[in-house]
């Protein structure tokens, strides 16, 4: 399996011990689109962060493309995130002082020549039909345009895995469908998508939906348009 979480738990110790994930086992094949559903506090974002290498398991193992994440050093985890993971957020997380092109380029500036990154960014923005907004600042964009900018930033380095945390949560129905269509095209190109959502309509896209409650998988169903 491309992503294999085996008996994974995330535990936070305080006055009371809280399990954000509790003995979760799941397998995701390369190129799948998996939706993660469940109420607030069910462990959805925790699961994304474990796969993204931003949170370590308290117990159990997670293997991504043959690599066990728990044995990686801090530098190796950072390289894993840079090369393997793209992340899209509900609130876009764009920098207001930078235009669309600069926002897309920013995460890669320390690692590649600026001219090369700019050329790549322009290609991605053209694919996402954002060339006409390339010099716009975030406050000048619609919600859909902001999210397309965020998607361009997330896929600039060609990650095999795209993690989406409520990517349509701040969008109206028309923009929601536009963004889902963009994600569908990326998935058809082979990108593995793991998408957290509260929206049942959104969960009709993709291949599989997993329902979490209290940090545990309660149900798994096959979906698809």
Question: What are the structural domain ranges in the chain?
Answer: 3-93+159-222
d(CA 158, CA 208): 23
Fold of the domain built from segment(s) 3-93+159-222:
Rossmann fold (3.40.50)
Residue 224: the pLDDT is 56
Rounded CA-CA distance 201/4 in Å is 27
Contact 60, 9 (CB under 8 A): yes
Per-residue confidence (pLDDT) for residue 128, from 0 to 100: 95
Residue-level pLDDT at 152: 97
What confidence score (pLDDT) does residue 221 get? 84
Distances (CA, A) of 150 to 6, 88, 99, 163, 198: 31, 6, 12, 12, 20
What per-residue confidence (pLDDT) applies to 193?
A: 98
Do 210 and 220 touch, CB atoms closer than 8 A?
yes
pLDDT tens across the length of the chain (225 residues) = 799 999 999 998 877 888 999 999 999 999 999 999 999 889 999 999 999 999 999 999 999 999 999 999 999 999 999 999 999 998 999 999 999 999 999 988 888 899 999 999 999 999 999 999 999 999 999 999 999 999 999 999 999 999 999 999 889 999 999 999 999 999 999 999 999 998 888 999 999 999 999 999 998 888 755
The Cα 78–Cα 72 span in angstroms is 9
Number of other residues whose CB lies within 10 A of the CB of residue 141: 20
Which tokens in the block code for residue 131?
């060339």
Rounded alpha-carbon distances, angstroms, from residue 4 to 8, 27, 130:
10, 5, 35
Q: What's residue 191's pLDDT?
A: 97
């Amino acid at each position: 399996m491309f992503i294999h979480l085996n008996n994974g738990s995330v535990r936070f110790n305080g006055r009371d011990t809280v399990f954000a994930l509790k003995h979760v086992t799941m397998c995701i094949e390369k190129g799948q689109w998996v939706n993660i559903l469940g109420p607030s506090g069910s462990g959805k974002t925790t699961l994304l962060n474990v796969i993204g290498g931003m949170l370590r398991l308290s117990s159990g193992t997670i293997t991504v493309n043959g690599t066990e994440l728990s044995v990686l050093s801090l530098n190796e985890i950072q390289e894993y995130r840079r090369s393997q993971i793209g992340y899209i957020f509900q609130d876009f997380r764009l920098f207001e002082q930078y235009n669309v092109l600069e926002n897309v380029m920013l995460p890669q500036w320390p690692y590649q020549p600026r001219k090369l990154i700019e050329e790549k960014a322009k290609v991605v923005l053209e694919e996402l039909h954002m060339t006409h907004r390339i010099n716009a600042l975030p406050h000048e964009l619609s919600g859909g345009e902001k999210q397309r900018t965020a998607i361009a930033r997330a896929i600039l380095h060609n990650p095999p895995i795209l993690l989406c945390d409520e990517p349509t949560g701040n969008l109206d129905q028309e923009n929601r469908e536009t963004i889902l269509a963009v994600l569908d095209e990326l998935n058809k190109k082979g990108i593995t998508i793991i998408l957290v959502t509260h929206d049942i309509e959104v969960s009709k896209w993709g291949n599989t939906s997993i329902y979490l409650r209290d940090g545990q998988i309660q149900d798994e169903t096959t979906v698809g348009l």
